[in-house]
Chains A and B, each alone.
Chain A
């Protein structure tokens, strides 16, 4: 793989079900992020991780959890999906340490292709 990938591409989910969105990057970036994009609201940060083993809450963290067991993977879990979580989810990564495989300007974020999630 090259860059950052997300899976699934799209998903329709019944309310109350558990769902994990996957995100993997091969750029050795230290920081990773999850955003949701909703019409008229732009991109809003859900959770972030500045380095493997650490995570933090963003602007809209309720109903979501994340983990960062290693540098490459940053899964986002919806424990019990609700219709208001219908959105397009983007994972992103950045290199603020200068040690990534792919050079980027300070905190320039690279985005995955997105996951379109519908909760009914």
Chain B
């Protein structure tokens, strides 16, 4: 059974600080996705990582994938309040339910002044 574990599940950080969210998964996969969800809203795609060593950056967020370690990280640089949201990682393994994704439980991020 595929397990996708995120940590931390809750994160409160000050504006201007840096932090990393971790996503570990238990089965071989070359595809990992990061999503953002604002309270009461739907999920928005942030990053698609399709190979070992993939790194993508958008603004203050940078995501990376190490398929050998079965680990992805989402690094936050100089956090601002607008980054407050819940972040989900999701893993795609073709052997499980066709093309569906397996999601972690999410990391709730609160950026405070």
Which A residues form the contact surface with B (CB < 8 A)?
31, 33, 35, 40-45, 48, 50, 56-59, 90, 92, 94, 96, 105-114
Q: Give the Cβ gap from B21 to chain A, nearest Cβ, in Å.
A: 14
Is B103 interfacial (CB 8 A cutoff)?
yes
Which B residues form the contact surface with A (CB < 8 A)?
31, 33, 35, 41-45, 48, 50, 88, 90, 92, 97-106
- A92 to B98 CA separation, bound complex (whole angstroms): 14
Q: What residues of A have a CB within 8 angstroms of the CB of B41 in the complex?
A: 113-114
Q: What residues of A have a CB within 8 angstroms of the CB of B104 in the complex?
A: 42
Q: Is the CB of A50 within 8 A of B99?
A: yes
Which of B33, B88, B100, B101 counts the most A-chain CB atoms under 10 A from its CB?
A: B100
Total CB contacts across the A-B interface at under 8 A: 64
Which of B50, B99, B106 counts the most A-chain CB atoms under 10 A from its CB?
A: B99
- A41 to B88 CA separation, bound complex (whole angstroms): 12
Q: Is the CB of B33 within 8 A of A109?
A: yes
Ordered by A's residue number, 27 sampled pairs between the chains whose C-beta atoms are within 8 Å are A31-B98, A33-B100, A41-B105, A42-B88, A42-B105, A42-B106, A43-B43, A43-B88, A43-B90, A44-B103, A45-B101, A45-B102, A48-B98, A48-B99, A50-B98, A56-B97, A58-B100, A92-B43, A106-B31, A107-B31, A107-B33, A107-B92, A107-B101, A109-B45, A109-B90, A111-B43, A113-B42
Q: What residues of A have a CB within 8 angstroms of the CB of B43 in the complex?
A: 43, 90, 92, 111
In chain B, what residue has the closest Cβ to A30?
B99
User: Given A105-B50, A111-B42, A111-B43, A42 and B97 touching (CB < 8 A)?
Assistant: no
Q: Is the CB of A90 within 8 A of B106?
A: no
Q: What residues of A have a CB within 8 angstroms of the CB of B48 in the complex?
A: 105-106, 108
Q: What residues of A have a CB within 8 angstroms of the CB of B35 in the complex?
A: 111
Q: What residues of A have a CB within 8 angstroms of the CB of B45 in the complex?
A: 108-110
Q: Is the CB of B42 within 8 A of A56?
A: no
Which of B41, B45, B104 counts the most A-chain CB atoms under 10 A from its CB?
A: B45
Q: Is the CB of A94 within 8 A of B88?
A: no
